[in-house]
Structure 1
Amino acid sequence: MSFTSPEQRQAFIADIPKAELHLHIEGSLEPEMMFALAQRNDIDIPFASAEEVRKAYAFSNLQDFLDIYYQGMNVLRTEQDFYDLTMAYFKRIHADNAIHAEIFFDPQGHTERGIAFSTAIDGILRALSDAEAHLGITSKLIMCFLRHLSEDDAFATLEEATPYLDRIAGVGLDSSELGHPPSKFSKVFAKAKMLDLKTVAHAGEEGPPEYIWEALDLLKIDRMDHGNRSLEDDGLIAKLRDSQMALTVCPLSNLSLCVVDKLEDHPLKKMLDLGLCATMNSDDPSYFGGYLNDNYEATAVALDLDKDDIITLAKNSFRGSFLSENTVAQSLQRIDDYVLAFDRKTG
C-alpha cells in the first residue's frame, strides 16, 4: 500500500503509535544540555559552543563516536542531571507519539568516574515515573555492561544493582564490539537469567555473524540489538525468522558510524522482506542526527517503505518489547484503530 504523497507519509509516520527499544539515555544528551549542565556543575568542556559540539559529531567508526560520547557523559554529576536528561528524552519522543520506551543506561560509565550508582539510577527512575504520570509513556529500564571492561566488573555492577532489581527489566551489552565477543560475558548473563532479568546484547553492528551466534547460543538473549550482519549467514536468517526474535535496528546510527555508506544501502527493508522482526530505533539520537520519527521518515524515503512496512515496524516495536502479552495486544489494536481512522480521513 503506497502513500499518495510525501505529506501523507509524513503525517502517517508522525501519529502512528510506536515504541522505542534501542535508546541509550546518555546518547540523548543534546549539546545545549551539555553546556547547561557543565555550567551548573562548574565543569570545563573542550568546546566553545553547541555548534562546535555538533561539528565534532563526524564519525568514521564506532570508536570515534564512543570517545566523544564518554567525554560528553562527564557533565552528568547529580541525580537532578540524570532526571533532566531522561525527562528531556521522554518529552521529545512524546512529540513522536511514542507510547512506550525501553531505555539503556551505562552505570559503569558513571561509577568509573566517581558517580554513585544510586545517583544515576535514582534520577532516571524518577523521570520514568513522571513520564508515565504526566506524558502517558510507559517504560522499562535496561542496565548495560560495557564490553571493553572485564566480566568481573560486570559482576560487580550487577551486585551493586541488587537493591534496584525490581525496577530493572533486564541487562544488556554495549560499547566497543570488535575484540570483545559476547562469550566474554557468558557467566554474568547466566547469573542475570537466574535473577529473572531479560537479556539483550549489541551484536552484528561491526562485529561478525559469529558474535550474533554467540549472543544467541551462549548469552541466550531475549532480543538482539542491531543484528545487521545476520544477513550474511543463511542459518542466522532462518533462526531469527523462525524464532521471531526482535532486532532493534538503528538506521541513522548505522549511517553516522559508517556501518552503511548511504541510507539507500541499509538492510532494514530486506530484513522485513525476509520476515525478520525488525524494529526502528534511534540509538543515540543527539549524536546521530535524529530521534524516532526522524529514523522512520529518512529510512522510508531512502528505502521506499510503504504503508504496510511502517505498520509492520510499529507493530514489531510492541511485539519485540518486554510488555505483557495483554498490553502488547492492546497496543497492536491501537495501531489497527489508528490505521482505520487514517484511511477514513484520507479517503
Structure 2
Amino acid sequence: MNIIHVNSVIQSYDIIIGNKIRHLVGKYLPKSYSAILIITDSNVANLYVEDIVHGCNVQDVFVEVVSPGEQAKNINTYYNLQSKAIEYQLDRKSLIIALGGGVIGDLAGFVAATFMRGIDYVQIPTTILAHDSSVGGKVAINHESGKNLIGSFYPPVLVFYDTDMLKTLPEREIRSGYAELIKEAMLADSELLERLWNVSLPEVHMEETTYFLERGISIKADIVEQDERESGKRMFLNLGHTLGHALETKLGYGVITHGEAVAIGLLFALFVSNRELKADLPIHALKTWLIKNRYPLVLSLEMIDDLVKIMKYDKKTIYKQIQMVLLQGISAPVIHMIDDSKLKKYLTAFVMEEMKEGI
C-alpha cells in the first residue's frame, strides 16, 4: 500500500493505492458520517458496489446507479441525483462516494460540491484514466456546447484506489488511461516516457501499471499543489485536451473515449510545437505507439471548421483567443495563444500528414 498526500488550500487529502483494499474503505474514512450515498454506473455496480457497501461500516448506505459513459454527465442526471440525496435525507454530515471512472468522479463530485453548498466526498477510481481525474478536485458536468463547462474546484476528502479493480477493464479503457500517463510523462518525466514507449496494451503487467499510476499521480499532485485553481502551472495538465475535448463534443460524448480523444490531441500538440516553437519532439514515436496500441485516429478535413468553433467555447479560451499547451521539449511545457486562421492551417496540415483511417 502506498499513500500520496496532496496539500490543498481548500482541503488536503490522501491518495491510498493498494491491491484488494476496497473492503477496507471504512477504516480509512477521515471521520464518522451520518449516511453515505454511493454513486456508480451499471457496469461497476455489478462488480464492486457490494464490496464497498459492506466496507463502509455505516448503517445508512444508499446506492444510485447511472448509465455508463460520458453521456451521463448531463444536467438531468445531476438533478436526479440531487433529488435522490434529498429523498434519502442526506445532511451536511453525510458523505458521497464516487465509485467508477472519470465520468462518475466528475459527476458525483459535482453533486457533492453543490448539495447543501458542499458535503464530503470520496473518490474510488475503477479505471486507469481516473488516476488523473480523481486527483486535483476538478468536478463538472458537460454542456452540449462543450465538455466540463459547468463545474467547480472541490477536492475529495480521500482517494481510495484499489488496483485489483483494474483487472476487469476492457481494452478501450486501458487505452484511454494510458493516454493520460503519456501526457504526464511528457510534462515532467522523460525516463517514464521512454518506459511507456515499450508498453504493448493490453498485455502490460499489473505491477508495471501500478508503477506508472503512482508516478503519474505524483506528477499531477505536484502540479496541483503549486496551482490548485488553474491560474498558472496547472494549465499544463491540459496538454492534448484542447483538441481532445473538441473531438469528444464534435463526435458526440462517448463515441470515442476521453483518453482516445486526448491521444489525438497529444499528437496534434507535438505537431504544432514542432512547427510553432521549432521544437524537436518525438511525434513519430508517439504516432507509432498509438497505431501499435490500436488508438483510433479519427480526424478529417470536413471536421476542422466545427472543431475550431468548439475550441472557442473551451474553458481555456481567453478573450476569444484559443490557448494551447505546447512543449518546447519534454518536461518543458508552455501556454501559447493561436489565432483561428493559424489553427485551421495547422489542423489541415495535421490531417494531411499525420492522420490515417480510423481503426
- Structure 1 length as normaliser, TM-score? 0.29
The structure with more helix, counted as a fraction of residues: 1
Higher share in strand: 2
Q: RCO greater where, 1 or 2, for CA within 8 Å and sep 6 or more?
A: 1
TM-score scaled by length of structure 2:
0.28
